[in-house]
Amino acid sequence: MMTSLSTTQNPSNGKESTVTQPANCPYQLFNQEVVWNGKWIQTRQVGFKTSNGQQGVWQSVHRNTKPIEAPADGVSILARVRKEGKLFLVLIKQYRIPCGKLCLELPAGLIDAGETAQQAAIRELKEETGYTSGKVVMESKLCFLDPGLTDDSQCLVVVDVDGDAPENLNPIQVLDSTESIEVLLIEQSKLMAYISNLDSSSIVVESTLLAYAMGIQFATLQ
């Protein structure tokens, strides 16, 4: 929430630059600008000054796609599949160009205009994996994926999937023409072992999924 204005002198060109001061911000901000604006994202930078007069520049990345009323930029989906008496998680594997490697991830996607986080989760699960869920278990609070770099935000939505239901016996993806996604079912009890055995030279793990796997492992420790 923005609460006040801070007007400072730009030491490089002498012009005043007014920046809205966020609540609880310990810095004095100045000269905020959009450096590059693309179809999906934009990059920005802002000058900041500490209480002892030290100055720096913060560069960041921001999405251009978030609907005004959306609770977050996107969702990650923790889909629990009960099938043949066992509990599985639906995971996906896809090549991520910024990483230069395959990435093991939770299904995820952006929230469309007019959607709730839960509606987006059900839709994205169906599109990316082919699985149909009729039960949302919980929706997390808003959280941020890499807050030192970007304000990209998500809600984590937990859903249950009946893996023995007819519609889930042979799930069919509904992918965009540019998407290439492999779907995996991994037993939840074997998740950390599966991750630990991955060849990190060719495949990496998305942080939300790794944190979940570590939580499961720690919960069993005495």
Rounded Cα distance between 22 and 147, Å, is 15
In a domain, 120, yes or no: yes
Position 15 scores a pLDDT of 57
Using DSSP bridges, classify how beta strands 143-144 and 101-105 pair: parallel, antiparallel or unpaired: unpaired
Rounded Cα distance between 77 and 105, Å, is 10
33 and 128 housed in the same domain: no
pLDDT digits (tens, 9 = 90+) for 116-147: 999 999 999 999 999 999 899 999 999 999 99
Give me the helices (H) in the chain, please: 117-129, 191-196, 207-219
Instruction: Give me the residues of the chain with pLDDT under 50, please.
Output: 1-12, 14, 16
Position 17 scores a pLDDT of 66
Token pair 């310990």 is found at: 26
Give the C-alpha distances (Å, rounded to integers) separating 173 from 92, 94, 130, 196, 211: 11, 14, 4, 27, 26
HEC states along 144-184?
Answer: ECCCCCECCEEEEEEEEEECCCHHHCCCCCCCCCCCCCEEE
Q: Which of 40, 63, 86 is the last residue of a domain?
A: 63
Angle at CA 152, nearest 5°, toward 146 and 158?
A: 90
Range of the domain at 6: 2-63
In a domain, 24, yes or no: yes
Position 196 scores a pLDDT of 96
10 and 111 housed in the same domain: no
Q: How many domains does the chain have?
A: 2
Angle at CA 119, nearest 5°, toward 77 and 64?
A: 80
Angle at CA 21, nearest 5°, toward 20 and 26?
A: 160
The domain that holds 174 is classified in CATH as 3.90.79.10
Rounded to the nearest angstrom, the gap between the alpha carbon of residue 196 and the centroid of all alpha carbons in its chain is: 22
113 and 180 housed in the same domain: yes
Coil vs helix vs strand at 220: coil
44 and 92 housed in the same domain: no
In a 13 Å sphere around the CA of 41, the CA atoms on its Cβ side amount to: 11
20 and 92 housed in the same domain: no
53 and 124 housed in the same domain: no
Token pair 């809205």 is found at: 20
203 and 98 housed in the same domain: yes
31 and 109 housed in the same domain: no
104 and 146 housed in the same domain: yes
49 and 92 housed in the same domain: no
Q: Which of 38, 63, 88 is the last residue of a domain?
A: 63
Position 6 scores a pLDDT of 36
